[in-house]
């Protein structure tokens, strides 16, 4: 079975950044201005923390990451 890593990212409205709220990779802490930038950071950071976890996956250099993004906003309506 292929192991995927779950990362929950939240948006901090005051700081204007997306950050890792929780993750099943011990020690993973990251933030970025956009969710896309955060997505680009995650594979390299996971590799740094765990070594090469791709051995159980679809091919060399691939690691499945389930990114769950949470943001709170007040929706205006008439």
23: number of Cβ within 10 Å: 21
User: What pLDDT was estimated at residue 1?
Assistant: 42
Per-residue pLDDT at 78 exceeds 70 = yes
Domain 5-70 has CATH 3.40.50.2300: no
User: Per residue in 1-55, pLDDT tens?
Assistant: 457 899 999 999 999 999 999 999 999 999 999 999 999 999 889 888 888 665 5
70, 8 Cβ separation under 8 angstroms? yes
Q: What is the pLDDT confidence band of residue 72, given thresholds at 50, 70 and 90?
A: confident
Exposure string of 39-53, with b = 16+ CB inside 10 Å and e = fewer, is beebbebbeeeeeeb
């Amino acid at each position: 079975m292929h192991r995927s890593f779950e990362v929950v990212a939240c948006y901090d409205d005051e700081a204007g950044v997306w950050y890792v709220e929780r993750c099943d990779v011990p020690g993973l802490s990251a933030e970025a201005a956009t969710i896309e930038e955060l997505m680009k950071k995650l594979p390299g950071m996971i590799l740094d923390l765990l070594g090469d976890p791709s051995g159980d996956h679809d091919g060399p250099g691939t690691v499945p990451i389930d990114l769950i993004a949470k943001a709170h906003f007040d929706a205006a309506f008439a």
